[in-house]
Structure 1
Amino acid sequence: MKRKVAGRILFLLSIIYTLSLPLSVGAAECSHGQENGCGGKHSTADNVGSEIQESDCENICGTEDGALLSNELAEDYAEVGSVKVSSRLWELLFGKEGEAREKLLSVGGGVFGVKIKQKNVTVTESKSIPLLSPGDKILAINGKRVSTVSEIQSAVERSGGSSITIKAIHNGSEITLEARPTLIDGEYKLGLSLRDGAVGIGTVTFVDPETGLFGGLGHGICDAESGDIVELHTGDISGVILGGIHKGECGKPGELSGILTGEDKGDLTENCECGVFGVVDNPEAFGGECLPVGTRDELHEGAATVYSTL
């Protein structure tokens, strides 16, 4: 129940952060994580039907600076770009207009492991189908929707070497093409390397001690091939044992490396340009000191204190 309630206000928090981001003073610049996303490893299947292997990916990036949120709404709805936010949701977080209600968030800084399942299967390499390129999405095989590498492998095997129809997204446009699997070492293969998920390490920026809602601010999890934000289907939060910290250099972001424990600690429910958001089962395990959320009228030029984890 806690995850459902927190999930309803999750997207609102990401919008609030977007509203306040240009107004923050002395915010810390993200010093770890690759420029185009996150992860630590991702799963690929070479030539569809072969053994799934692990290969290096990028780190999730999250800053340690606090979230600065606005509490001013001129009308019943606040419009951000093409998104309208109900003032009712705003009231759930900060109370009614003119009603004093201090919102406390627990300062993060700790790390978390993440395992995500993508909404679509991504092509990472195409050896025998010229119309498909790295970053393309496979939508369906022979008219049947597919969302995992194993589903594509099964469809290829069932073909028995006959031509199959592939529906995909190529360079932003939907295409349909024909391909004939080849029998190699007793298995039918298409000559594609595919990925349907990723794992990695991120940094907690804040945790709501009441709901368990957390955010890792900075930027979202991006596709290594296209650089686009990964469309999240499901995501799990787990513990992590850090194995190393690589200091960032000019033009080369630092990164965290480690091992995911596999222990389920919550859900990842939002992946967007602002970062990643989710709900943890035990907020106390991820958060630290609780601080009040700053409002728009409290912002001013001057010295600032940045919380960091060493």
Structure 2
Amino acid sequence: MRKSKVKIVYIASTLILILSIITFLSLSKIPETIYVSNSIETSSMDISSNFLIKNCEVNKDKIEIKLLGLIPLKSVKLSKVDDLELYPGGNTVGIKLSTKGVLVVGYSDINCERGQVESPAKRSGIQLGDVITKINGEEIENSKDLLRKINELKDSKISLQYLRNDVTQSKEINLEKEEDGYRLGLWVRDSTAGIGTLTFYHKESKTFGALGHPITDGDTNEPFIIKDGNLLDSSVISVKKGEKGMPGELKGLFLNEKVGIATINKNTEAGIFGVANKNIINKISDKPLKIAFRNEIKEGKAQIITTVDESGPKYYDIEIIKLLPQDEPGPKSMLIKVTDEELLEKTGGIVQGMSGSPIIQDNKIIGAVTHVLINKPDVGYGIYIEWMLKDAGIIN
């Protein structure tokens, strides 16, 4: 009899522990803020797949999460947003950016009277990815400006101001001298260019969003801190098909480098954003679509709009394999798989240059394509549209 009681207690304790773990994991997946459309009734909401915390009570601007509707577990901020409509993108765009200051991408040894010596900047602690903004208190405009200021120096000691992880720092550096002047011992970059895909255009604010991920330097993998930039009309001229272990690529051509269609003013974890000079509306999507926040998105069938040849943007079928929990903006919100036979035949799946292609489900914009899995070219990641709208300044 005693053994039976012990067994029952053991089984009950195990079940309680399992349910507690499931509940804890479910809570960890619920963000601190949930966005909903004003048109949605919010007296109660299902924001978790856990049956223990269904039908959460909505109290003004908060969602009260309770275990079995009785025991308080967590309070989540509810942010109501006016019904938003966006024109979906899907067309390729040219991107040209200039950095604030100059980005450190490499080191160079110096040949001086003592022989070859280590880069003075490296020796003093300057790291790859740092952004040099000033020398001796004077702002650096670009790479040529940096070289000119170094060549004009009369003293080997300089004060260098730079950004590291968005924090301004400074150092005193003793330069080395070659035959033709002082040297800092750095390789730097002040601009970048490429193609990507437009995600959306918000006509009311003339704001655009593209890429769904930041533009980073290829050598340092650090995001560019932009001074200015332009979005340009572009055209796809060829496609390198993606294969296992070898990502594919769209190759494009800028149609008019002198006249931009928009200015770029933000480069964030959720993409690039700015203000359009004209309405950026495609023929295939000449009517705006509503958006769906992450609590409305479901796993299963969806579509993307993207451009892979001269015929322009087209709809292609995909599947949302998994929705991933995120508490802050990031380009890996959902796992997606290309299922469209035509797109698989042309590209092998997701290729470089398709980043930003809008994801559509139930005739609503829910996100954008961001990355491909190198060993599975038909599988990749997408970002929730609300992250892009937040960084764009369209929602708070």
TM range (shorter): 0.5 to 0.7
Structure number with the bigger relative contact order (C-alpha 8 A, sep ≥ 6) is 1
Matches for 1:138-157 after TM superposition, within 5 Å: 138-157=132-151
3-state SS, counterpart of residue 150 of structure 2: helix
Larger C-alpha radius of gyration, 1 or 2?
2
Deviations along 1:39-72, one digit per CA (max 9) or x if unpaired, are: xxxxxxxxxxxxxxxxxxxxxxxxxxxxxx7436
SS at match of 1:152: helix
In structure 2, the residue corresponding to 1:153 is in which secondary structure? helix
Percent of matched pairs sharing the same residue = 27
1-structure distance, mates of 2:60, 2:136: 50
- 1:270 deviation in Å? 1.8
Per the alignment, residue 291 of structure 2 pairs with 294
| RMSD, aligned CA | 3.5
Write the distance in 2 (CA, Å) between the matches of 1:206 and 1:187.
Answer: 50
How many aligned positions are there?
226
Aligned to 1:223, what secondary structure does the other structure show? coil
- Contact 1:108–1:287 under 8 Å retained in 2: no
Question: What is the CA deviation profile of residues 214-249 of structure 1, one whole-angstrom value per residue up to 9, with x for unaligned ones?
Answer: 211431111323323222221111222434322223
Instruction: Report the alpha carbon displacement of residue 170 of structure 1 after superposing the two structures with TM.
Output: 6.4
Match of 2:174 in 1: 179
What corresponds to 1:257 in structure 2?
A: 251
Q: State the distance in 2 between where 1:125 and 1:155 align.
A: 19
1:113/1:305 Cα in 2 relative to 1: closer, same or farther (>3 Å)? Answer: closer
SS in 2 for 1:159: coil
Residue 7 of structure 1 corresponds to: none
Give the equivalent residue in structure 2 for 1:309. 307
Unaligned runs of 5+ in 2: 1-28, 43-58, 64-76, 109-118, 309-396
1:194 pairs with 2:191: no
User: Would you say the 8 A contact 2:214–2:269 is kept in 1?
Assistant: yes
Residues 196 and 211 of structure 2 are in contact (CA less than 8 Å); yes or no, is this contact kept in structure 1?
no
Whether the 8 Å CA contact 1:121–1:138 is kept in 2: the answer is yes
| Structure 2 match to 1:104 | 85
Give the TM-score, by structure 1 length.
Answer: 0.60
Shift of 1:280: 2.0
Higher strand share: 2
Q: CA deviation at 1:197?
A: 1.6
Counterpart of 1:244 (choices 238, 262, 276) is 238
Q: Secondary structure at the match of 1:150?
A: helix
Change (3 A) 1:299 1:285: closer
Contact 1:114-1:202 at 8 Å conserved across structures: yes
1:16-165 to 2 correspondences below 5 Å: 70-71=36-37, 94=82, 101=83, 103-127=84-108, 128-129=119-120, 130-131=122-123, 132-160=126-154, 162-165=156-159
Residues 98-155 of structure 1 show CA distances to partners (whole Å, capped at 9, x for unaligned) of xxx4x33222111111111212311112112233343222232123332422332222
Residues 135/75 of structure 1: CA separation in 2 closer, same or farther (3 Å cut):
farther
1:279 to 275, 282, 290: 275
Contact 1:214 1:278 in 2 (8 A): yes
Q: Which amino acid aligns with 1:140?
A: K
SS in 2 for 1:229: coil
- Residues in 1 aligned to 2:200 and 2:168: alpha-carbon distance in whole angstroms: 38
Give yes or no for the alignment of 1:269 onto 2:265. yes
TM-score (norm 2): 0.48
For 2:86 and 2:171, locate their aligned partners in 1 and report how far apart those are by CA, in whole Å: 49
CA contact (8 A) 2:86 2:291 kept: no
State the partner residue of 2:161. Answer: 167
Contact 1:161 1:181 in 2 (8 A): no
Q: Is the alpha carbon distance of 1:206 and 1:267 closer, same or farther for their aligned partners in structure 2, counting shifts above 3 Å? A: same
- Aligned-partner residue type, residue 301 of structure 2: A
> Structure 1 residues 148 and 308, CA, compared in 2 at 3 Å: closer, same or farther?
closer
**1:32 alignment partner in structure 2:** none
Unaligned runs of 5+ in 1: 1-21, 24-68, 79-84, 95-100
Query: Residues 77, 148 of structure 1: CA spacing in aligned structure 2 closer, same or farther, 3 A cutoff?
Result: farther
Q: CA deviation at 1:175?
A: 4.6
**Contact (CA 8 Å) 2:159, 2:170: kept in 1 or not?**
no
